[in-house]
Amino acid sequence: MSSSTKRRVWQLVNPEETGRSGQRLESAALLLASLNVVAVVFQSSDALYSRYALLFDGFAVLSVSLFTLLFVLRLWASAIRTEYRGSSGRLRFVGRPFVLLDFVVIALFWIGFVSAPQSLGGVRVLWFARIFDFPRFRRSRTRFKRVIASQREDLAIAFSGAAMLVLVSSTLMYFAERSAQPEAFGSILDALWWGIVTLTTVGYGDVVPVTPLGRILGAITTFGGIAFFALPSSILAAGFFAERERENQTETEPTDGTAGPAEPTQTMTGPVQHRCPYCGGTLDSSGSEHR
């Protein structure tokens, strides 16, 4: 086929294109992927699947066939871009996150279809991640990446502190409870389960301290978990606030980066006065500022 045909196909199937047809196709693909996720959830019920097995299986095969066709068209048309030409370029294209996601889901589905047809396509639930590639969410996704990049050091400190608190509290609880509950706190590895559940304030209640020292350590650990595990949320919230402020400031600033010329003002008793665009003070003919 001619390069013009390949270019038209690329403009249609490439999700990064801004054309109306491409966006409609991407919206349809997202809708089909979402329906597949819903189908996987409902077919996990034995009663529903045994009653509508043909419908579930037919929808799965049809959906994955359409996604396979879309993947092949994208792979074929990607050669229109210089960076995706040749075998190495095609591998680079497949290595893109959401293209790789489609490849993994499609490959695992067809492998399972051949080897174990009765387990058709639970892997399709991974397609729910396609929502992050929706065109309307790309600005938010880019903003999230910038926030993570700008706050990575603070987040590293917060998660490191939380990990240290989990390990220290679990170790102390092991020594406090191992004689009273050897089946629950037989090792530090066993105590780590209690530490994680307690520090995340989930509290399943399957493992609890019974000795006085263990209960004191448990209370301290619970308060420490509230403090340490709230840090990442506050760090991300501050990062998002700062990023939105930066975006708003960038949108309101002039494109040339200047504040613009001084604005003239006519007074009631004198000639036209020029005011400084920064502080609002008046400027005389020599350019000096008067407050």
Please write the tens of the pLDDT for every residue from 235-261: 889 888 888 888 888 777 655 555 455
- Copy the structure tokens of residue 237: 């919230």
Q: Which residues contact 94 (CB under 8 A, 6 or more apart)?
A: 75, 100, 103
pLDDT: which is higher, 269 or 27: 27
In whole angstroms, what separates CA 110 from the centre of its chain?
Answer: 28
- Closest by Cα among 43, 50, 51, 197 to 123: 43
Structure confidence at residue 184 (pLDDT):
86
Three-class SS of residue 265? strand
pLDDT exceeds cutoff 80 at 22: no
Q: How many CB atoms lie within 10 A of CB 241?
A: 11
Please name the residue that has the structure tokens 């189908």.
39
Segments in 95-211 forming alpha helices (H):
97-115, 138-150, 152-177, 188-199
Mean pLDDT of 62-87: 89
Please write the tens of the pLDDT for every residue from 120-159: 667 888 888 887 777 677 788 888 888 999 899 988 988 8
- Closest by Cα among 214, 209, 223, 224 to 165: 224
- Copy the structure tokens of residue 241: 């606030």
Distance CA 151, CA 159 (A): 12
* Domains of the chain with bracketed CATH: 3-133 (1.20.120), 154-252 (1.10.287.70), 258-291 (no CATH)
Which string of DSSP letters, residue by residue, matches 180-235?
T-TTTSSSHHHHHHHHHHHHTT---SSS---SHHHHHHHHHHHHHHHHHHHHHHHH
Mean pLDDT of 21-50: 87
Distance CA 79, CA 74 (A): 9
List phi, psi (to 5°) of 274. -100, 135
Counting Cα atoms < 13 Å in the Cβ hemisphere of 260 gives 13
pTM higher than 0.75, yes or no? no
- Closest by Cα among 105, 78, 63 to 14: 78
pLDDT exceeds cutoff 50 at 164: yes
Three-class SS of residue 81? coil
Beta bridge partners of 283: 274, 289
- Copy the structure tokens of residue 113: 């279809």
Q: Are 199 and 166 in contact (CB under 8 A)?
A: yes
Structure confidence at residue 120 (pLDDT):
61
State the average pLDDT for the chain: 81
Q: Are 130 and 99 in contact (CB under 8 A)?
A: no
